[in-house]
Structure 1
Amino acid sequence: MDYLGFMNSLKREVISPLYIFEGTEKLLMNQMITKVKEKFLPEEVEAFNFDYVEGDKVSLKQIVDLANTMPIMSDKRIVVIENPPFIMTVKNKEEKGEEKFLLEYLKNPNLSTCLILKVIGKVDKRKKIYKEMQSIGQIIDFQGLNREKMEQWILNYLKQRNVKIDAEALSYLIIVGGEGLEFLTNELDKIILYVQDEKITLDVVQNLVAKTSEINIFHLIDNIANKQGKKALEQLNISLSMGEAPLKLIHLLVRQFRMIIIAKDLLTTGYSEKQIREKLEQAPFIVSKVIGQGRKFSIEELIISLEYLLDTETKLKSSGGLTRELMENLVIKLCYQ
């Protein structure tokens, strides 16, 4: 189930005794936890019935004790455990001996408690305890949003604040959204403060939104794919002027071109975009972007591009002060191979 399905269940006042929140969108997780509190915990009794604990600071037995505690002046208690080691790949010496407490609890969970295990990243689905949890709980997916959901999220965020945006600015913000909603929210708040009652335009977004390595690489590869040498060089110089190390840029480009090759190959063998996302273990929008970029290259061009990148990496490691010249020559080769 994704977060939208979870929100719909809350509207129907349906709540499970156990949830596993899994993914990279920490902001969305926190928003959903707030919605659970608003729906089931009156503000005046929240202090007695809400616990938020870091997973590495508490034992499994203590978690069970928290879950078994009955609510005070309320029908529900909410217990949130952030990054519990027992369902992650983190090694925990105490885990094996204490699993029995949680396994016993899962046989007869306290229906007055909503236990939320908040995993920022991935759970270890091989673990026996995770499989047991699936039988009584719900897994809520908080991976990065796809293009459509990202667009809707941005529009809803702006609508709540009575701010309008043009199509080009929205498209640019969707790229920024690949960095995560927490980053995007900070950028939107900054833009809203700047425009006040005016419409958000592409110029405003490009001038105000913080540039990141990943965003710059997307722009650089877009320019390379479109054979726009001048724009590609301008984008390269933006990255270098921001202090990005040339070798780091090479590594990011290699990673991106490898993803494009893998996605292109999987697409030709009949994989769906969702299956490709699972293979690449990337956010939906990044995969959509990678697939789009792949359509502008042949496999041969992509392989040659990787060879250029690796050759430039070798030269960078042995060059003196020729880094900018080497990087500019690389970009020209990638554009006009």
Structure 2
Amino acid sequence: MLYLIYGPDEYARSEALAALKARVPADVADLNMTTLDGRRTTLDDLVTACEAMPFLADRRLVIVYDLLKHQKAGKERDELRAYLERVPDFCDLVFIESEDVDRRSALFTFLKKHASVHECLPREGAALLTWLHERAQSLDVSLDRDAAQRLTLLAGNDGRLLVNELAKLASFVGRGGRITVREVDLLVADMQEQNLFAFIDDLSARRRSAALSSLRRLFDDGQAAQYILFMMARQVRILLGVKDLVAQRMRPDDIAAQLGQKPFVVRKAIEQVRGFSDADLRQLHRRLLELDHASKTGRAEIEAGLELIVADMCS
């Protein structure tokens, strides 16, 4: 049988593949599974893998990663499509595509008609919250609705990241425990904050290309440009405060208490301020305030303005 598992949610892809692997008897799984890299796989490689007889099992599993993405139009693709019509009945051939596929291609069209297709999209809204509650139940803990919403706010909707964070929370509260907003805020890092740290790292090191890419990543997080501007200004104010208190030889934990920040935020800021002078930080803060005012009066567009500030700071 033919399978196509594709889409941006890596964890959903891995779950779908795990379900297929579970059908192969564990004691002979190594003898009845073949994994191929689609970037280097030839049609001969694929035929050899598919037509090898199962050993002490009814079926064998052949898994091919990213073949559709790298398969060019022409004779080779036509021959592959033709072979898919005669894959042995005892073989389960699975195509795993880590990125979206060309839905107009002949291979995708064929698989859409003749294969079991599983599109792995990130969960959203109520479906995401329901999934989190089900995962929590499987870990023998309860998850407050507010805590689930807070978790998605901090970690986004990346399946792999959410599963890891939920496992960490479940371990913290123990079997039969209850995960509330308090535990989420205590243990889960804000991914948008982490992306902001990465951006400030690149900016402080004057890595122009990397800083512009990090800024674009912040935009791609889905937050409004005005919010990113606010967060950048907030981070610069933290850096100014940290730089002043470090000069006074205060300890990181004491700095965190005085600024009302988490200790890890302060430790990160201590690393970042080394790349800025006082004048750099004050100029950056002034330009951010000017951009905020200009955007509100219709004289500037925030995204373009932020990119210009980054380019100037890194020049």
**Fold match by TM threshold 0.5:** yes
**Structure 1 residues 335, 70: CA separation in 2 closer, same or farther (over 3 Å shift)?**
farther
Partner in structure 1 of residue 261 of structure 2: none
Q: Is the 8 A contact 1:21 1:117 kept in 2?
A: yes
TM-score, structure 2 length as denominator?
0.64
Superposed CA deviations along residues 177-231 of structure 1, whole A, max 9, x for unmatched, are 5351111122122222222243211122122112223x789xxxxxxxxxxxxxx
Structure 2 Cα separation of the partners of residues 159 and 129 of structure 1:
40
Contact 1:25 1:180 in 2 (8 A): yes
Letter in 1 for 2:46: I
Change (3 A) 1:166 1:332: farther
Answer yes or no: is 1:204 the counterpart of 2:183.
yes
Q: How does 1:272-287 map to 2 (within 5 A)?
A: none
Cα-Cα RMSD: 3.6
Q: Are residues 327 and 205 of structure 1, via their aligned partners in 2, closer, same or farther at CA, if it must alter by over 3 Å?
A: farther
1:66-81 correspondence runs (5 A)? 66-81=49-64
Q: Secondary structure at the match of 1:56?
A: coil
Say whether the 8 Å CA contact 1:60–1:99 is kept in structure 2. Answer: no
- How far 1:59 moved relative to its partner? 1.2
Cα separation, 1, equivalents of 2:151 and 2:297: 29
How far apart are residue 103 of structure 1 and its match? 2.4
Decide whether aligned partners of structure 1 residues 330 and 175 sit closer, same or farther in structure 2, where only a CA change above 3 A counts.
Answer: same
* Structure 1 unmatched ranges of 5 or more: 1-16, 218-237, 257-285, 294-301, 313-318
User: Do residues 47 (structure 1) and 30 (structure 2) align?
Assistant: yes
TM-score, normalised to structure 1's length? 0.60
- Residue matched to 1:325: 286
Contact 2:24 / 2:57 at 8 angstroms: preserved in 1? yes
Q: Is the 8 A contact 1:150 1:177 kept in 2?
A: no
Which residue in 1 is equivalent to 2:271? none
Residues in 2 aligned to 1:113 and 1:96: alpha-carbon distance in whole angstroms: 26
**Secondary structure at 1:115's aligned position in 2?**
strand
Greater Rg over alpha carbons, structure: 2
Give the AA of the match of 1:69.
A
2:39 aligned to 56, 64, 77, which one?
Answer: 56
CA shift in 2, pair 1:159/1:331, >3 Å: farther
Deviations 1:10-35 (A, max 9, x none): xxxxxxx1111111122222222221
2:105 maps to amino acid: K
The residue type equivalent to 1:65 in the other structure is T
C-alpha distance in structure 2 between counterparts of 1:329 and 1:159, whole Å: 50
The AA in structure 2 aligned to 1:26 is E
- Code of the aligned partner of 2:38: G
Q: CA deviation at 1:162?
A: 1.0
Q: Which shows bigger deviation, 21-30 or 245-254?
A: 245-254
Distance 1:242-1:157 versus aligned 2 partners, 3 A rule: farther
1:98 shift after superposition: 2.7
Hey, what's the Cα distance between the residues in 1 that align with 2:179 and 2:294?
37
Displacement of 1:132 in angstroms is 2.4
- Shift of residue 78, structure 1, vs aligned partner: 1.0
Q: How many residues align?
A: 241
Q: Is 1:102–2:76 an aligned residue pair?
A: no
* Alpha-carbon spacing, 1:206–1:327, altered in 2? closer, same or farther (3 Å): farther
In 2, Cα distance between the equivalents of 1:33 and 1:44?
A: 18
Superposed counterparts of 1:8-27, under 5 Å:
17-27=1-11
Q: Using CA pairs below 8 Å that are at least 6 residues apart, which structure has the higher relative contact order?
A: 1
Which residue of 16, 35, 53 maps to 1:32?
16
Q: Which residue of 1 aligns with 2:248?
A: none
Structure 1 125/149 Cα, relative in aligned 2: closer, same or farther at 3 Å?
A: same
Which of 166, 169, 182 is 1:188 aligned to? Answer: 166
From 111, 126, 133, give the equivalent of 2:89.
111
The percentage of aligned residue pairs carrying the same residue is 18
Residue 113 (structure 2) aligned to one of 135, 144, 153: 135
Give structure 2 stretches of 5+ with no counterpart. Answer: 204-210, 234-278, 299-315
Q: How far 1:37 sits from its partner (Å)?
A: 2.3
Per-residue deviation at 1:173?
A: 1.7
1:108 aligned counterpart, secondary structure? coil
Give secondary structure in 1 for the equivalent of 2:170: helix
